[in-house]
Chains A and B, each alone.
Chain A
Amino acid sequence: MIRKIKSQKKYLIYFGVSIIMIAMVGIISPLISTSLVTKKEKSFEEKISLLKTETQNVISKREATLVEHLSTLRNTTNSVSLYDNLGKEEIFDLVNGSEFSNIGVGIYDSTGQLIIWNNNHPLSNNQFKNFQKTFLNEKSFFYDSSLKIYLSVVSLNDDRAIYLSIPLEKHYQLRNEYFEPLNLSGQLSNKYNVDLKIVYQSRLTSNVDKIPKFSFDILNSKGNKIGYAYITNINVNEGIENLESITFLVQSIFAFTAFIFLGLWLFSLIDKTKYSFIRILLISIYILLFRAVLFLLDVPGKIGVAELNNPVYFSSTFGYGIVKSPMELFLTVITLITILFVIYKSVAAKGIKQIQKSSNNILATTEILFLSVLFFVILRIFGVTINSIVFDSTILYFKETLLFSDLPTTFMYLNVLLIGSGFVLLSVLLVLLLLRSVVRVSDKSPIQNLFFLFFFLQLFGIIFDLIQLDPQTNWFVRVVFILIALAIGYFIEFQKSSKNTVLLTILFAGSFLSISLLSYFNFDLEKRSLKTIATEMTRTSIDLLDYYADKIIYEVAQDDYVKQKLLNKSNDFNSEAFVIWSNSALSRDSKSSIINIIAPDKSLLGSFNYEFDEPFIWDWNDEKSDINEVRKVSQKIEGTENQIIRIITPIKHESKTLGFVEVSLLHDVYGFGIDQTEEFLSSSNPISKISINLDFLKIFEFKNQKLSYYYTDALISEPETEKILNAKFTENNEAWINLLLNGEGHTFYLNKDIYNGDEEIIAVGLRDKDVTWSLYNFFKVFFIHSIMILIILLIVAAANFSKIDELKISFRMKILLALLLVSVLPLILLANYFKEITEEKNSDAVYYKLGKRADNVNQYLDNYFYNSTLNEKSILDKAVNDLRIHFSIFEGENLIYSSEGVYYKIGLLSKTLNAEAYLNLFYKGEKEYVLNESIENYVYNTFFYKATIGDKVYVISVSDAFNRIQLPMTGTELNIFLFGTYSLAIILIILLSTLLANQISSPIEKLTKATKSVGSGDLDIQLQSSSKGEIKELIDGFNRMVRELKKNQVELAEVERESAWKEMAKQVAHEIKNPLTPMKLAVQHLISTYKDKSNKFDEIFNKVTSTLITQIENLTNIASEFSSFAKMPSIKLDDLDLVALVKETVDLFIDEQCKVELKADLNEATIRSDREQFQRMIINLIRNSIQADASNVVITIELSEGDIMIRVKDDGHGITDEILNKIFDENYTTKKEGMGLGLSLAKRFLDITNGIIYISETSPKGTEIIIKISQD
C-alpha cells in the first residue's frame, strides 16, 4: 500500500518538474534571443554565402548534365550524315527517347535549318538563325524564350549545330490543376527565407539598373559570367523567430508531459473510486481537458499535414474553434467518441435483467419522456452537424468522380463516418437507458417492450418534427435512425452480440445514416448554388474592374520585366503580354481583358486577348500631349449595357519612353463567370467550385418586366413568366419558386434589383431531376467508408492481439474469405475489363472522329486552295468557319496556319511539328498518326494527317483540346456506371457471403466449443439450433451423445462404486481376518489355560491380552487407512497460469446466452494446484450461475495482500437464506439431477490446495463467490 502511494506521488513530482521546466525554458529563451540579435549581421553574411554556393551548384549540376548529353549525342551523331534518312531516323529515335526526356534537343545543318529535334526544344528555325551568332560555343548560357528561361549549351561545327537545353524557370503561371510550377529563384527564396532575384543574362541582355549591393555572380564551367542574383528582401528576424518557435515547441512538449503525468496520477486515484459514475466523470473531464490542451497548444497545426489544417476545406465556429479545420474536427470527434464509449461500456456492463420494476411509475415515465426528447435532440444535432459539414466546407462531396480525389476530401469522408458512428453510438446508449426505464414500468416481455419503444419513438419523432421550425433531417433518416438504434440495442441487450459485431454494425449504420444526411443537405447545397450563380453574376461591378485596371498598371510600372523586354527589344511581345496577364489578378479572376504592348510610335508590338476580341486601335489621340502618365477611360459599348475600361501607362527608362502597356477590361453584364476558354488556360473560378453541372443551368433576366436575356434553350411560357414577375420577394429581394419548363419541374432562385428606377430580376434555375443525387454518389462514399471501416477493424484487431500466437484465422473467416474471393474477384476483373474495353473504344472513337475531321479539312482545302480567288489565309479561316473544325497546318516541320493561332503566338504551343509525328509521317511512311500531346499537365489527343494539296505536302493536325468530341460513354459516366452498379453488387455479395459463412460456420464453431466443454468435464451442455438437415442431425447427435455420456458416467460411477465397495469389503475382510486369527488362537489358548488351571495362567493372560491389544491396534490402523483412501481422488499438483486457465475456461461459454467475462488485473498469476480439478471447479461455478438464470457472469482475478482473489459474480436470482448454510455440505443440491457434490468438492479441493471458498454476497440481484488462494 505504501509502495502504491509512493508511486502515485512520483507522478505528481514529475508533473511539478515539467511545470518548472516550462518556466525555465521561458527564462532562458530571452537570454539566447539577446545573443542572437548581436549575431544578426553575421548570419546575414553567412546566408548570402550559402545562397551563392547553392545557386552555383544547381546551375553547375544542370550544366554537367547538358555537357554529358551533348558529348553522348556528338559521339553518336558525328559519323551520321544529316542527309541520310536512315541515320536521321536513328537520331530522331534517340533524342525522343527516355534519355532526353527532360532535355530539349535541336540539331541544325550548316544553313541553320532544323533537321532533328525533340518536343522539349524551345527554338524554331527562325529563332535559331537570329540568335546563332550570340550563342557561346561549347559554353553554357541562359536562353530566354519569353515564357521560360533555359540553361543551354550549343556545339557549333562546320556541318551542324547541336543545341541542348534544360528549363529553369517559367515567367508565366496558370491558376489551374494542370500548371506545373518551375521557379528556381522561388525555390531558393523559400529555402533561405529571402526574396532572391536571378538575372539570367543572355548575350542580348542589357541591365535596367545597376547591380545591387547584396548580389553574387553566376558563372558557367568556363568561368564566364552568365548571370547574377541579388537579394531584395530578407527575414532579419529569422533566428529569433526560429528560437521562439523552438521555445514554444519545447514548452508545449513539457506542458504535454505535465498533463500526461497529471493524468497518470488522476487515474491512480480513479482506480480507488468506488462509484462508477464518478470514475466516468473524471475520465471524461480528463479526456476533454486533454483535447483542450491539444487545441490550446495548436498541436494539429504544428505537427499535422498543412492541408488538413486549412479552414478552406472545413471550418465551423462550433465549440470556440475546436472544429476550425478538418484535423481539429477529427480530434474533437475522436474525443467525444472516446467519452461516449466509456459511458457505453459502463451502461452495457449492467444487464437489463438486473433492473427491477419500480414502485415509482411517475419517475420512470418522466425518465422515458426525457430520454425520448433527448433522443430526438441528438438526432437534430446529428443533422445540424452534417449540415455544417456540407455548408461550412468547400469540398463537393458528390461532384468529384474520382474515388480518392485528394487528402482533405478523403479525410472529411473519414470525419463524416466517425460523426455518423458517434451519433449512432449515442443513440444506442439512449436506447439502452430507455429500455431500462421501460422495464421499470412494464410487466411485458423484452420483445414487447422493444416494440412498444419502437412505435412510441416513431410517433414521438413525427411530433418532434412537427413542432420544430426547421427540422434538420427528413422522415427517412428519422425512421431508420430509430430502427437502427433499437436493433443494435436489442442485439446488445438480448442477443449478447460480440463487441466486434456491435462495432461493425455501429460503423456501417453510422456510414449509412451520415451519407443519407450528406445527400439530403447536398440537395440544399445545389439549390443554394443557384443563389451563388446569381450572386456571381452581379459580383463583378465596374468598380471591381476599375480596381483591377489600376492594380495591373501599378504592378506593370513597378516591375522591371516589361522595361527589360522593351529595352532589349524582345522579338516576342505576344508572349510578354501573356506573361503580364497570367501574373495579374485578371487571370486569377478570369476577367475578359486585353493586354497590349505598344511601341513608342504607337504601333502594336504584341498582345494577349482573354475572352475579349477587339482589334488594336490607338485610341488615345484625343490627348493633346504625349502620354507621360497613367490614363484611364471608361467606354460604353453601343447597343448593350457592357462597358470597357481602358488604362494605359508609359514605360520609361532614363526619361525615355520605351513603349506603353495598355489594358482593356470588358464589363460584361451578362457574363456569369463560366469560363469558355480551353481548360488548360482557364483559372479555377468560384463557379467551377459549385456542386451543380453548369450545362443544366437555366438563366433568365427580366428588365422592367421584360425578358432581356436568357441562357438556356428551354422556352418560358407566358404563365411561367408571370410567376417570376409576380413572385413574392423577401425583404432581401430574394424568392424561390417552382416552374414548369417544357413540361418538367424546375426550381428557380430569383433576385430582384432596383437601380435608378429600373427593375432587374435574375432567375437562375435547375431541372428537379438534374440534382446530382444518384446511386453512384451514395455508393461512392459508402465504398470509401467500407474501406475505412475495414482499416478501423484491422486496427482494433491489431490492438487486441497482444500475442502473436493468438493471431489465427477462424473457420468462419476462412469460409468468408473463400466466398468473397470466388465472387468479388471475378466481379472486379469484369469491371476492370469493362473499363479497359470502354476506354479502348473511347480512344478509337476519338481517333476516328479526329481523323474524319482531318479528312474533311483535307477535302475542303483540296477543293478551294487552287480554285479560289481568296488568299491562302482567308481560305483557311473560311475552312474553320464552314467546317467548324479547329485545326493547324504544317509545311514540313513549320507551322503555317492554326485556328488556335493565339496559343502559338504566345508560345504555349510549339510552332515546330511534333517530333514523333514528323518521324512517323516523313521517315516511317505513315499517312496518318495519332498521339497524346500535352500543355503543362493537360493531356489531349492529336491526329496528324499527311495531305498532298496541289503539289505540296502538308500535315493537318486536329486535336480534341480544341474540338469537342462526343463519346458514347465518357470517363465520368463510366466511373458512375461502374461504381453505381458494381459497388452495389459487391456490397450485396459481401452481405450474402457473411450471412452464408455465418450460417455454415456457426454450428461448427458451437460444436467445437461444446466439444471442448465436454472434454473439460462439463456434461450438462446441450446445444440449441434452428438449423435443418445434416447440421441439425449433427447437433442432435452431439446432444444425444453428451446425454448418453452423462448417463453412462453416472452408471459407470455406480458400477465403479459397487465394485469398489465389493473390493473394499474383500480387502477389509482380508485385512480384518489377519489379526482375527491370532486373536482367536490367543483367546482359545487363554481359555484352555484357564480350563487346565495352569499355574502359567497369569503369564499366558498377559501375553494373550498383549497380543489382542496389538491386533486391535492393527485393526484400527486398517480402518484409518481405508478411511483415508476413501477421502478424495488423488491430486496432481502443478504450477498453473491461473489467468490463462480461467480465460480458457471462460472461452468455453462464448456461445452461451449468458455473457461470461473475465477481468484480470494481473497478466499472469502462478499457483500450485491440480489443473483438471481447478478447471472443473470454475466450470461448476459458472454452470451454477447460468442455472440461476444469470445473464452476466463476471470473473475477476486480483491480488489482495499477497493472496489471489477470484471473484465469480453473477446477476442470477441468488441463494435464499434457507439454503445458504447448506450449499457447501456434501450431497446437498437444489437441482433435480445433481449429486450435490459441486460446491462441497470445491471446498474440499481448496482445503487441500491452500485455498478457501465463500459466498461474499447474495441477493435476488445476484451472487458473488470468492475463492482466495494463499501464495505462501
Chain B
Amino acid sequence: MSKKIFIILFSFLLLNLFVFGEVSIEGSNQIPKQSEISKIFTSFENGMNTGAVKEFSLFFDTETYISLENGVSSYFGKDQSYYIIKEFLSTYKPIRFKFIRINDSAETPFAVGQFTYSFQGMRRTSQVFVSLKHSEDSWKISQITIN
C-alpha cells in the first residue's frame, strides 16, 4: 500500500513537471494597451543589452522568423525562439545594443539597430532588423534578423 502511495506521488511529481514545469516565458498576459509597440522595442533593446531574452520573449509570435549571424535562418515556434536567441547571445556576448531607427507607425512596425558583441573574445558589430505583427489582439515580434 505504501509503495502504491509512493508511485502515485511520483506520478504526480512527473505530471507536475510535464504540465507546470515550463519556463514562464509567457509571463503576464497583461500587455499594456498604450505604447505597446515602443514598449516591445524598449524591451527588446534592454534584453539585447543584457542578454536577458526573457525581457522580450513574451512578445514572440507563434511563428517567428529568425535569421542570425551564426547561419540560423528559419521560422521558429515561441518556445524554440527563446532558446535560439538565448544560445546565440551566449556565444555572441552582448556589449551594446541600440536601435538607430524605429518606425512604429507603419503597417508592420519595425526597428533597425546596431548590435555590438564579443565573439571569441573579439569585438564585432552587426545590424539588427526587428519587425512586428498584429496577432491575437496584440503586437508580436514576427521577425528578427541579426547579420
Q: Footprint of B on A, CB under 8 Å?
A: 175, 193-195, 233-238, 241, 275-277, 280-281, 284, 310-312, 314-321, 324-325, 336, 339, 343, 346-347, 367, 370, 374, 377-378, 381, 384-385, 388, 391-394, 429, 433, 528, 531-532, 535-536, 539, 541, 543-544, 547, 550-551, 554, 585, 588-589, 684-686, 689, 731-732, 755
Contacts and interface: CB of A to CB of B under 8 A. Distances in A.
24 contacts: A194-B122, A233-B123, A235-B121, A281-B6, A281-B10, A312-B80, A315-B82, A318-B18, A319-B17, A347-B3, A367-B4, A374-B8, A374-B15, A378-B11, A381-B19, A394-B76, A433-B4, A536-B75, A539-B65, A541-B107, A543-B110, A551-B147, A585-B145, A588-B147
B108 interface: yes
Contact of B7 (A343, A388, A391, A541): A343
A377 B135 contact: no
Interface in B56-107: 63, 65, 67, 71-77, 79-80, 82-84, 86-87, 103, 106-107
Closest 3 A/B residue pairs (Cβ):
A235-B121, A311-B83, A315-B83
B21 A535 contact: no
A197 B4 CA distance: 68
B121 A193 contact: yes
Given A276-B3, A544-B143, 17 more contacts: A193-B122, A311-B84, A311-B87, A325-B83, A336-B14, A374-B11, A381-B15, A381-B18, A384-B18, A392-B77, A393-B80, A433-B4, A433-B7, A535-B63, A544-B110, A731-B136, A731-B137
Nearest to A688: B74
Interface in B40-66: 63, 65
B35 interface: no
Interface residues of B, number: 56
Contacts of A370: 8
A874 B29 CA distance: 65
A378 B106 CA distance: 47
Nearest to A388: B79
Contact of B15 (A377, A535, A588, A755): A377
Contacts of A392: 77, 79-80
B22 A241 contact: no
Nearest to B108: A541
Helix, strand, loop or mixed for chain B's interface? mixed
Contacts of B6: 277, 280-281
Helix, strand, loop or mixed for chain A's interface? helix
Contact of A312 (B2, B82, B84, B112): B84
A421 to B, nearest CB: 16
Interface of B: 2-8, 10-11, 14-15, 17-19, 21-23, 25, 63, 65, 67, 71-77, 79-80, 82-84, 86-87, 103, 106-108, 110, 112, 120-124, 127, 129, 131, 135-137, 142-143, 145, 147
B23 A686 contact: no
A388 B4 CA distance: 30
A685 B75 CA distance: 10
A318 B65 contact: no
Given A433-B7, A689-B74, A234 B122 contact: yes
A367 B120 CA distance: 58
Contacts of B2: 275, 277
Nearest to A350: B3
Contacts of B8: 370, 374
A995 B51 CA distance: 59
Contacts of B147: 551, 585, 588
Nearest to A543: B110
Please indicate which of the listed interface residues A238, A314, A394, A685 has the most CB atoms of chain B within 10 Å of its own CB.
A394
A848 B72 CA distance: 41
B75 A686 contact: yes
Contact of B75 (A319, A433, A532): A532
B120 to A, nearest CB: 6
Contacts of B10: 281, 284, 339, 343
A316 B15 contact: no
Contacts of B22: 317-320
Contacts of A378: 11
A391 B121 contact: no
Nearest to A551: B127
A394 B74 contact: yes
A236 B74 contact: no
Contacts of B65: 535-536, 539, 686
Contact of B131 (A194, A531, A544, A550): A544
Contact of B129 (A234, A317, A377, A547): A547
A394 B66 CA distance: 12
Given A235-B120, A324-B83, A732-B135, A543 B103 contact: yes
A973 B60 CA distance: 39
Contacts of A284: 10
Contacts of A311: 80, 83-84, 86-87
A397 B76 CA distance: 16
Please indicate which of the listed interface residues A175, A325, A589 has the most CB atoms of chain B within 10 Å of its own CB.
A589
Nearest to A532: B75
A393 B7 CA distance: 32
Nearest to A193: B120
Contacts of A541: 106-108, 110, 131
A17 B120 CA distance: 34
A235 B122 contact: yes
A1205 to B, nearest CB: 25
Contacts of B142: 535, 539
Contacts of A281: 6, 10
A877 B23 CA distance: 61
A588 B72 CA distance: 10
B7 A236 contact: no
B110 A319 contact: no
A1119 to B, nearest CB: 61
A367 B4 CA distance: 9
